[in-house]
Amino acid sequence: MASTSAPARPVTAPAGRMAAVNEMTRLIRLLFEVEREFVRTVPTLVYRVGEPELKYLICQHVWESAGHARFLRERGRELTTFGSTESVRDPLRRIFTEAVGVNSADPLVIAAGFYGVLKPALLAAYRHYLKVTDPLADWPSKKLVEEFIADEERHLREIAPYLQGVDAREWKLHLTQALDDLGGWLGQETRLPLAAGYVWQHEKTPYTHPATCNRGSYPVCSGVFGLDPKEDPIVRPWLTDPKTDARVIRLMVYVWLMMEMDAIDYLSTVFIETPTAPFDLHYDLARHLWDESRHSQFGFRQLPKLGVDLMTVEHSLDLYNILVQMPPHERYAMMTMEFEANSFPTKATVMDRVRELNDFEADTLLAFDRNDEQNHVRYGHRWLPEIMALFGETRSTEDFVKETKAKFYQLAEIYGGKVPHSLPASRRLTGEKILKLAGVT
């Protein structure tokens, strides 16, 4: 039994006892918010840049950043003072909103802002975290951050070739000044307050989506599905006609898959317009986006192997041009509850026909496409009611989807079919040319 004459221990406030944990938790929370804002805002680049490979790369980075944010959130919840909400503080959000720029700006300049200022600052923040944390006591966070540093370094290497020669000095300086006002993402640098004359561009000119998406140097058209083999590359009746040669179906379905670039363009618009959505909603949107990007790559990479010159394949723009006229919850409803949900019967027939070719690679790509699309419809059932609620929608989901579908077809009469063929039928890929490429006479 302790002596009653022993001196009493000083009373230590809980914050004092847990100061080391609380400080690391504060930094983890900031890192989570930065990664979350990257996921919210960087997708605005996808439909503004034209090069397909760059679109695909940005989609990959969005997905990987969503993974970083999710792991940071889970680690943060293991520690005290992380907080029960997932909100982002205004000073951080303001910088990312500014980084989106205006839709009339050069998209590569805007990309240089994200990848030349905000992402390097995030890399510096992660390195700072490793420097100030205890490598043994905080081992779980340390291992996560080490992996994220490797990802961030790779992201910068991967994007560099696309930004060579881009003069973004003025825009990068503008964003650097905004970030310096915080002293870096973690406040670890000396703070340099903004000049009195600094103008926040997003307050002066709020961002709006462009009326059409960018496909760079690739030829474009309104749509690739049709009934005339002399005009259209995907002849609808041929897809399900048992008399159609399986080699023809394989080529047409690769065109179809490549055109899922439509999906990555219009799905990318949803993130920026749902800033108060639960993080898990954005996480699943990011996965959905990366899936569609991979599906488009299936066609983009396989068509040349089968003799198709990609510069003869026109890119369809109708879906983006129509859906951008609708609010985000209607776009998402059409994508998940209409386009994807109703694609399974035709794709099942296509998959069975392609199996006749004993083409393991084609079978694999189509199987993963189907698996992913099933998940996307599940996402729709899970998240559509919540996105509807964000926009004050009170109709039942069933009524909402039905009426949104009708609205889509009304808008299609106005905004669809307006993109002329970039190439004459003699030069563009058509059903007749697919017959020749497949060796069918």
pLDDT per position as a tens digit, 365-399:
999 999 999 999 999 999 999 999 999 999 999 99
The predicted-structure confidence for 292-315, as pLDDT tens digits, reads as follows 999 999 999 999 999 999 999 999
Cβ neighbours for 24, distance < 8 A, ≥ 6 positions apart: 79, 129, 132, 133, 138, 141
Q: What is the mean pLDDT of residues 147-156?
A: 98
pLDDT value at position 268?
A: 98
Q: Is 225 helix (H, G, I), strand (E, B) or coil?
A: strand
pLDDT value at position 14?
A: 52
pLDDT value at position 5?
A: 45
Q: Is the pLDDT of residue 32 over 60?
A: yes
User: What is the DSSP pairing of strand 225-226 with strand 315-316?
Assistant: unpaired
Least confident of 71-75, 78-82, 352-356, 420-424: 78-82
The predicted-structure confidence for 314-344, as pLDDT tens digits, reads as follows 999 999 999 999 999 999 999 999 999 999 9
Q: What is the mean pLDDT of residues 104-112?
A: 96
Q: Is the pLDDT of residue 11 over 70?
A: no
Q: What is the mean pLDDT of residues 2-26?
A: 64
Cβ atoms within 10 Å of 202's Cβ, excluding its own: 16
- Is 153:123 a contact under the CB 8 Å cutoff? yes
Instruction: Give start and end residues of each alpha helix (H) in 246-359.
Output: 246-258, 261-267, 269-272, 279-305, 318-323, 328-333, 344-354
The partner residues of 225 in beta bridges, in order of sequence, read 234
Give the pLDDT band of residue 10 (cuts 50, 70, 90). Answer: very low
Token reading at 352: 């069975």
Separation of alpha carbons 327 and 384, rounded Å: 13
Q: Is the pLDDT of residue 13 over 90?
A: no
Neighbour-count burial of 13, counting CB atoms closer than 10 A to its CB (0-12 exposed, 13-18 middle, 19+ buried): exposed
Question: Would you say the C-alpha torsion 393, 399, 401, 407 has a positive or negative sign?
Answer: negative
Cβ neighbours for 432, distance < 8 A, ≥ 6 positions apart: 229, 230
Q: Is the pLDDT of residue 12 over 50?
A: no
The predicted-structure confidence for 159-200, as pLDDT tens digits, reads as follows 999 999 999 999 999 999 999 999 999 999 999 999 999 999
* Of the candidates 276, 213, 234, the residue with the CA atom closest to the CA atom of residue 43: 213
Task: Tell me, rounded to whole angstroms, the distance of Cα 19 from its chain centroid.
Answer: 37
The predicted-structure confidence for 216-234, as pLDDT tens digits, reads as follows 999 999 999 999 999 999 9
Separation of alpha carbons 173 and 112, rounded Å: 11
What CATH number labels 21-203? 1.20.1260.10
* Of the candidates 265, 321, 330, 325, the residue with the CA atom closest to the CA atom of residue 292: 265
DSSP code, position 337: I
**What secondary structure does DSSP assign to 144-210, as a single string?**
HHHHHHHHHHHHHHHHHHHHTT---HHHHHHHHHHHHTTTSTTS-S---PPPTT---HHHHS-----
Hunting for tokens 């340390």 — which residue is that? 142
Rounded to two decimals, the pTM is 0.94
Core vs surface per residue 313-330: b (16+ CB within 10 A) or e:
bbbbbbbbbbbbbbbbbb
The kind and range of the H/E element at 116 are none
Give the pLDDT band of residue 80 (cuts 50, 70, 90). Answer: confident
* Of the candidates 93, 97, 75, the residue with the CA atom closest to the CA atom of residue 29: 75
pLDDT value at position 16?
A: 81
Q: Is 266 helix (H, G, I), strand (E, B) or coil?
A: helix
- Is 315:219 a contact under the CB 8 Å cutoff? yes
Q: What is the mean pLDDT of residues 410-426?
A: 97
* Of the candidates 66, 80, 63, 62, the residue with the CA atom closest to the CA atom of residue 32: 66
- Is 212:195 a contact under the CB 8 Å cutoff? no
Cα end-to-end span (Å), the chain: 100
Rounded percentage of the chain residues whose pLDDT exceeds 70: 97
- Is 207:103 a contact under the CB 8 Å cutoff? yes
* Of the candidates 401, 360, 408, the residue with the CA atom closest to the CA atom of residue 384: 401
Cβ neighbours for 33, distance < 8 A, ≥ 6 positions apart: 88, 89, 92
Phi, then psi, of 140 in degrees rounded to 5: -60, -45
The kind and range of the H/E element at 220 are strand 220-221
Cα-only R_g, the chain:
25
Q: Is the pLDDT of residue 402 over 80?
A: yes
